[in-house]
Chains A and B, each alone.
Chain A
């Protein structure tokens, strides 16, 4: 869109990422450096790295877009994304670090001593990892297309190649530096423009976010429709629009109601559960469950915990992450809210995910300030794609190199990285129409219904057996995977079936827990003989050095 600063900013971020990666490469000497950063990363560095890795395209772009589109109800996304770290802290962080496992399959074998369960866990790690990688690459493609006008595959390709090269060459140690840097970059890239935006809003005489007549266009605007929708114009006429249609609105004209988007004032401002049917409440609780419990089951989050020196520092690291992530999530709301005033055309075009990158120029004008801030935000968005994709790739590659290729060497890890990065790239190039935030939400639901019960029961309950764990993962996780496939590939559904598949966690998580406990009780004899020793290892304070 004519901003000549965007591409240099993105190139700068990419070069910095590569530069820090190569600086780390000089320090990475052994296989241990490569895989777990030799476990000498301090809690503060590690926490910034975890935060940097966690704040993905969905957090950076998606949350603000959802808030612009749906209003208060989707605030549960950022709250849940942050609260996931609290669940991780309460139930998993310290014991998991003490277990000494590097990946989730490692944990399965350590705790339950079953090779078959290990294989099953490997399949789920790879599935969740790829499900989460595809939207990151897509987000990159769409952002570059929006801001620089490049074809969609370019952005996806750039991110995939940079990340694969960086992970393959530098391994985890380099990634720790890169990720920590990217947390601060992302925070800055949202915080600085947010201050300018708030000042601009003041200077404009604090226009109401929710004027009684609904959102209006501040300037004459031409909208190119991206998603098929039905518009209801203020005079009551309705009109169907298709991708590619161009609509022109005069300044001061109200924004038409768009099907599937919350344009009405009260719906946007107030919780929809108020007075609505039970489906809204069910979907809200399902979302809460998926995000609260899903974080602990994300492979790229767990892998990072092994870089803590001991259980107590894993706990402190998690607390710092919770604080860092919490600070970050204060910001997307500002963009979503101000987007109602300055970029209402996104409601019509359907491109709400672009609100964060388009808002600075829309509010501050195309002067130097606006263009600089837009470039800063674009750099932050790219940092989000790069860092999350790096983390996911590291963990998926780690699993592939140890469990599929059966090679623990640096060379095996590099080969695995290329495989782990190639597959989602091919997928991302072929499916352009998936909704970034929705797919990420589904990845959380799968993680919450498979690895969350495994970790929680494995750490706290002696009675868990390998058969029980496998059954729980297969039934609960399998149900969530089915819901994902139905939502992404299946026919459009309405009513309860749509709610149950789009937000499956509220039934798949209890299902996974129930099956896991019931089958474990039925196969009590299979409980590992050394469970007492494992419990001691997981829970005995580090200072005892047993």
Chain B
């Protein structure tokens, strides 16, 4: 059941498209590794989705018919995505939310200077922004991976 299915290659890279192009109607999704704003964007097509609908197995029906299996499947996805979001917000809560507390309990940290700039100014005024973007980028990557795993599970041909 879990054995690798050799017939349909799960992902097939497509020639890159220019950014800012109209949304294409076929089910495509950007590769998880894609960086925002980069013009050479690699889109990846799910081979399975491109095929006619009737080949796409019974799991899909389980989902749309709200059977127990379908409920459990979507439950799992929601849980995985929520856990990811909570983990990353914990990173921000510690990384940024901890700063006022740190400055309160250890005032000497607030007085430290780096390259002539006081540490709190450097941390809040400059470094917090790349930090937030890095967390967001990680989230998009991992959330898209979760969705890809779910899609693979649903699209897997029944045996």
A: which residues have CB within 8 A of B? 39-40, 42-45, 47, 72, 75-76, 78-79, 82-83, 85-87, 89-91, 94, 269-271, 273-276, 281, 284-285, 288, 309-310, 312-313, 315-316, 318-320, 322-323, 326-327, 329-330, 333, 460, 532-533, 535-536, 539-546
Contacts and interface: CB of A to CB of B under 8 A. Distances in A.
Contacts of A318: 136
B40 interface: no
Nearest to B36: A320
Interface string B118-151: 1011001110111011011101100110011011
B35 to A, nearest CB: 10
B100 A271 contact: yes
Contacts of B34: 316
Does more than half of chain B's interface fall in helix, strand or loop, or is it mixed?
Answer: helix
Does more than half of chain A's interface fall in helix, strand or loop, or is it mixed?
Answer: helix
A44 B20 contact: yes
A269 B63 contact: no
Contacts of B111: 270
B100 A285 contact: yes
B37 interface: yes
Given A94-B143, A322-B136, A543 B151 contact: yes
Interface in B40-61: 46, 49, 60
B8 interface: no
Contacts of B97: 285, 288
Contacts of B154: 544
Given A72-B124, A318-B136, A333-B125, A313 B66 contact: no
B129 A89 contact: no
B71 A546 contact: no
B121 to A, nearest CB: 6
The 5 closest A-B pairs by CB, nearest first: A326-B129, A274-B107, A75-B124, A309-B23, A541-B147
B74 A75 contact: no
A90 B89 CA distance: 8
Nearest to A324: B37
A539 B74 CA distance: 8
B100 A319 contact: no
A42 B139 contact: no
Given A72-B120, A273-B104, A543-B29, A315 B92 contact: no
A94 B36 CA distance: 16
A539 B81 contact: yes
B126 A330 contact: yes
A496 B41 CA distance: 53
Given A333-B125, A540-B77, 15 more contacts: A40-B22, A44-B20, A75-B120, A82-B132, A85-B132, A86-B92, A86-B135, A269-B118, A271-B100, A322-B132, A323-B36, A333-B121, A532-B74, A533-B66, A543-B27
28 contacts: A42-B20, A44-B20, A72-B118, A75-B120, A75-B124, A79-B128, A83-B128, A85-B132, A86-B132, A86-B135, A86-B139, A90-B85, A269-B121, A270-B107, A271-B110, A285-B97, A318-B136, A320-B37, A322-B132, A323-B37, A326-B130, A536-B63, A536-B66, A540-B63, A540-B74, A540-B150, A541-B148, A543-B29
Interface of B: 19-23, 27-30, 34, 36-37, 46, 49, 60, 63-64, 66, 70-71, 74, 77-78, 81-82, 85, 88-89, 92, 96-97, 100-101, 103-104, 107, 110-111, 118, 120-121, 124-126, 128-130, 132-133, 135-137, 139-140, 143-144, 147-148, 150-151, 154-155
A329 B103 contact: no
A369 B111 CA distance: 37
A44 B74 contact: no
Given A90-B85, A536-B63, A539-B78, A316 B30 contact: yes
A83 B101 contact: no
A545 B101 CA distance: 46
Contacts of B110: 270-271, 274
Nearest to A285: B100
Contact of B36 (A309, A312, A316, A535): A316
A225 to B, nearest CB: 30
Given A320-B36, A322-B136, A544-B60, A284 B100 contact: yes
B140 A89 contact: yes
Given A75-B121, A270-B110, A320-B37, A460 B49 contact: no
B88 A327 contact: no
Contacts of B89: 87, 90
B60 A79 contact: no
Looking at B77, B92, B128, which has the most chain A CB atoms within 10 Å of its CB? B128
Contacts of A274: 103-104, 107, 110
